[in-house]
Structure 1
Amino acid sequence: MAKKSSFQKELERLASKQIITVIGIGCLFFCVAIFGNTLIEQRMKQEKHLDDVTGTFRQVCDSVASFLQDEENAATFLNCILGLENGNGLQYRITKYNVDALVGINLILADPEGQILFSSFSEDVLNLHRKEFNQIADTNAKAQDGKLYRTVYFFSGETSEYVLIQPLYQNGVYVGSVAAYLKERDWNRLFQKYQYDIILTTAGGDVIYCSNSSFTSGSTVNKYRPRKMERYCQVNDSRYLTGRRYLPEQNVYLYSFIYQPENVSYILIGILIILSLGLVWMILFFHLLQKMAEKTSQSVRTLVEEIRLIRKEDTEHVIEIETGDEIEEIARQINKMVVSVNELNQKNMDLLEINNRMEIQNLQAQINPHFIYNTLDNIRFLIAQDGKKADELIGRFTRILRYSINNTKQSTSLQEDMEYIEDYLVIQKTRFGERFLYEVDIRPECSRVLVPKLLLQPLIENSLKYGFRKKPAIHVLIRGWIEEEYLVLKVEDDGPGQPKSTLETLRGILHSGEINTVHNGLQNINRRVILEYGNDSGLSLESQEGMGFAVTIRLWIGGGKNVPCFAG
């Protein structure tokens, strides 16, 4: 066996130390994670249980409250109290409600003295105790100033009824009350779908519902109000995870109980398994460590020999190491240093390209504000006339604005660009109505050619700006076709045109190196086209006074690494 290098020995020592530390921490982490995950999972189950019960309870209470406070139902209650209706109509409304209700109800209608005028209870259920309870509850409800009053009715056995009482007024005068008693058997049916136990109580501890009477067996009759909430409770030799939630709207407490069997033995077995696996992994890691250290040290030796060769013999030598790790990356970086002279020669070209891009961005920034002003002006006039149309135009304007200020790409396909030009044309069409007509005739083979964003927008804007000065209506024709190695785009209108002297002035401005503050729109476009597509590309102008104005753009699409041609 070859003698280990000092690098290999040091690498094995450091890695062994790290492996032992990591595996030790990992075993400890997994042991803690077993307990932590169990606790978190239990709490998540309990929170979900409380969320589900809370949602169901609120839904039931809101449904009953809506029934009691419904205008038509309230009118029926008043008519029955005043003797204008018998109880048949009210009984029908109760029956209709109970058909779809999660928890059914029975109603008691009482006069101002608490005497019962109507009840949906059977005679045996409407006993003296319930009558006296209802009369006392009516007195308490009257003191609520018209607000819904909530209480619990309990007589005997293990069942109780949640009661919602609505005071009734006519012209500000108290005329009686209507009390809804929620059926206890429906609570059982409703909460049976949850696998965990639940207790619902009022803030005073009166039990509204209890899924398991064992939880309240040691308490005062129909009372549950623990002095201190513990994480766990013991009931009949069974261990439960407990949780509580307060509902301020209903002034109700929810108690959740999740059965937790003793599982210490299972946890100990899990810990032993993790420790055993940690020992096995440690043995495997030590074996792999030796192999990796040997391979890495060999790569380092090769790299040192290659560096010595470059330093002493061949300064243009290229290091070839394929290890797929950081050693290979170091070799690549050294190779880059060897060819750094060629990179310096490319520096001037890179700087020139950067300057061109900066100039394009500056030119584009001059175009956008002019377009934004005109678009906002269109929308401002339309808002007062047609809000729906204004909303549509705002959407189109937002798309154009987002598209124009997106600096992630400077060029796009002509097809995509024309979609946003169409948005612009629709905005202008809305503004000028029948005074503005336009046609678009772009050949299909032009759709994938890359063009500067919103290239044609300033040209269309110029046609409208100068055309409407002397003519009441303008027609704009937009055409595009491929001519040899050029994409040709033409925007022409039937406006007043320009005199020959003005036309020659404009042509001179296009090719001037000085920035013109009056006609900088055409100059900007021409400058952008030349910078991106070469000197053979650019704008040409045609016009006769009284015969319209036409701008033709020629973009060279012949190819080349610096010229954008076609979208992928």
Structure 2
Amino acid sequence: MSKNVGSFQENIRKTFIRFSIAPVAAIVMAVFVLFAIVWINFMEDSNKSDNAASCNEIKRIMNIYYEMMDDVSDILLPETNDNNSLEIIIDSADAAKVTLPVDEIFSALYNRTAPFGDIGNLIILSGDRKVLFSSKKNTPKFLIAEEYANWGVWKSIKTNEGKTATVLYGKNLCIGKGVYEGNTLKYAICYIVPNEVISGAIVVQDRFVILTDNSGWVYASNTKMMQDAYGQIDSSFYNKTGYVRQSGKLYYAFSNKTDKGLVLYTINDISRSIELIWVMVAIVIIIFIAIALITIRSTSKSSKEYTKDIKKIEDAFEEVQNGNFDVSLDIDSSTEFMVIGNDFNKMLQGLKDQIEQNKELAENAAFSQVKQLESQFNPHFLFNTLDNIRFMAKIDAAAADKMIVSLSGLLRYSIREVREEVTVKEDLDNLQYYLNILQIRFNKRFAYKLDVAEDIMECLIPKLLIQPLLENAVKYGFGTKEKLCVSIRGYQMQEMLVFICEDDGAGIEEKQLKEIRDNLKEDSNTTMHYGLYNIHRRIRLMYKGDYGLDISSVKDKGTIVRLTIPKHI
């Protein structure tokens, strides 16, 4: 399969961008999400806690008033008390008179309301709405007028027989209780709660607070925005806990009912907070874009700086590939590249020395030709190996490092072993470096099998004999195939060593196969393909006899290359 492969420098630049900008973006997003969650939880919890605190205070105050109502009802029964009584004329026409223990009533009133500063208006009426006692001069009309006899406070007193109940009527918070003698309502006790007492209990900063009865009629509030024209809380907030949108604004409302018939609403206007958050998001996005632009610009220079050694190595190997041996690598940026540079220089010096020596051995044409073939072969496979490293560097840095180490091993083997022949075991050990590179590069796409007999391990063969077979199989075997399997076998047959490299790859067209076979018969290479020809030519020059290379192939089935050399130790 063919694919567009970018330069190592470009890949490094993209990697810098990906691993610098992406984590920052992820962290910024995570911070904003965490901030939003914390802010929402804090806002909701503070709302609920303030609401609960105000509700508890209202409950405490109302309990005091309820206890006062019980105290007064206890004083009113029995009906008469000779001490400290007040004669009140109910009806001047019939001069009916009722006496109440005024001092005791005032005492109960003052004892309970003293902490609040205002004693409020305690009113005691007869069952037919006649005022018998009032702590203040004024008596509201809704307590004495005929039309209210079965409405408002009177309805609550008659409905809740003998029980204390809270009624909100005409912006007055009233507490009513009926005192019955049998089934007859003898007294009606009504206490009008001072507005400032309850209002003082619901002072909460930074949010709207509304106190209503169970029907939604507003008694106390620090805003008019959430009320309708009739004095009820807006229907959007009635009995609501959660997020409410009204008039284009977003609010968070929390409602809490008390056991005295009152409902306390605490409401946060979060529209401004959300607008502020969006402004912060916009500012951070602008800053992030600026950082991204700076990063993209700086990574171009950095990637060029960090990959200059790769470029040096690539240029050096291209020069050698083109036949120029007057190059050298001077690298001191990292240990790995320093090893490659030193080994390259040693290898190249070795090749140059061999060429010089071959020139001095003009009388031995065969030996000279072998050396020339080797000097042509070494840079060829080294260049291909470096190309593989470049390909892998963009995928996995650790794998690329392992490939560099393997390449270093190949270079050491190339320059260390000055002998023309090495043992089969030595050549196979060197082959393993190349297999490491192939295995990393192709991963599961490439598989190999080595089956070399143990009894030939100490036999001598030309140095770097087996590796070009494998290299050639990989280079031309893949074609359009997804996977490739290569098998290398070695065994002894009579007085010969036989090595077979077989792959299940793309195979070779018959016409091209014939050209390759014809070229193997020539004394000089007439094509641009060096691998198989060099192997065959070296064997023919080094060993007299019917030895060399034979190739067979079937298109889309695979290729078999067979080598024969004489056995000697």
TM over 0.5: no
TM category (shorter chain) comes to 0.3 to 0.5
TM-score (norm 2): 0.40
TM-score (norm 1): 0.40
**Structure having the higher Rg:** 2
